[in-house]
Amino acid sequence: MTNGKSVRQVNARKWRDGAARAETDRLAVEEPLEIRLGGRRFTLTMRTPGNDEELAAGFLLAEGFIDSTAELGEIRRVRDAKGAPEANAIDIVLNVPADGLRERLKRNFAVSSSCGVCGKTSIDALTRRIEPIVSTLTIAPGEVLAMPARMRAAQAVFAATGGLHAAALFDLSARAPRLLALREDVGRHNAVDKVVGWALRAGMTPLSRHAMMVSGRLSFEIVQKAAAAGIPILCAVSAPSSLAVELAEEAGITLAGFVRDGGFNVYAHPDRIAG
């Protein structure tokens, strides 16, 4: 089921069979979200409206500004001059001492500055912050192959617009993988943040008994977010980047790409794929 915040109708001239006609079309909404920390502007991201609180929480965990649910304080909508909630601005109060927050801001600025300049520097900085995942969790090849279809079936906004990425979280502690949460967004990294933020706010992290499936490709950033959430198995329908594979190897994450058409490739820690 879609909501009015994530889908918008527009006029379009559609060409079909050599002829044009005016029709309406449905598009995925893209709008900015301003995230504030304690009333101060922190960052701005382009996203599909919906689950904004989860997006902000997941982003803060992935980027190292918080380490646990306990450090995530109140998340509230910014109010305008008339006291009405702003649609595209939220404010977060962290349970982190001021000195500690300043140190984290300084540390993460250094990591962001190195990203794209020196991959090894980025990986080393991240692995100093996040312990490598040690897990005996396994998944059968057939269960990996079933994930894309299960994710696609739950993508309501994609079905309406064809214009969104998705991230799906599966619980592997039962006999068969159970789809726990799926989020959609114009940015694949935002979709991952929303899922991680959902789990963080529910007190479920680290996600040591879970696997994540994402649409599109696997970038360094996606693996970084999975590592911060403690996810041991990460899969995608498309290709990983070289830096994503390097980080997955260092972080202890099983990385599977090209999960489609009855097959897939495992690029890091293949022992968790049983059979």
Annotated catalytic residues are 115
CA–CA gap between residue 222 and residue 34 (Å, rounded): 21
Alpha helices, H only, 12-116: 52-62, 98-114
CA–CA gap between residue 210 and residue 178 (Å, rounded): 9
235 burial via Cβ count (<10 Å: 0-12, 13-18, 19+): buried
Please report, as a single letter, which amino acid is at residue 56.
A
Nearest Cα residue to 43 out of 165, 193, 157 = 193
Q: Edge-to-edge strands of the sheet including 72-79? A: 40-47, 31-37, 85-94, 72-79
**In which residue are the tokens 């998705």 written?**
166
3-state secondary structure of 164: coil
Please measure the distance between the N-terminal and C-terminal CA atoms of the chain and give it in whole angstroms. Answer: 36
3-state secondary structure of 139: strand
Angle between the 188-201 and 220-229 helix axes, to the nearest 10 degrees? Answer: 0
Token couple for 228: 């911060």
CB 220 within 8 A of CB 227: no
List Cβ neighbours of 228 (8 Å cut-off, separation of 6 or more): 61, 62, 63, 64, 130, 196
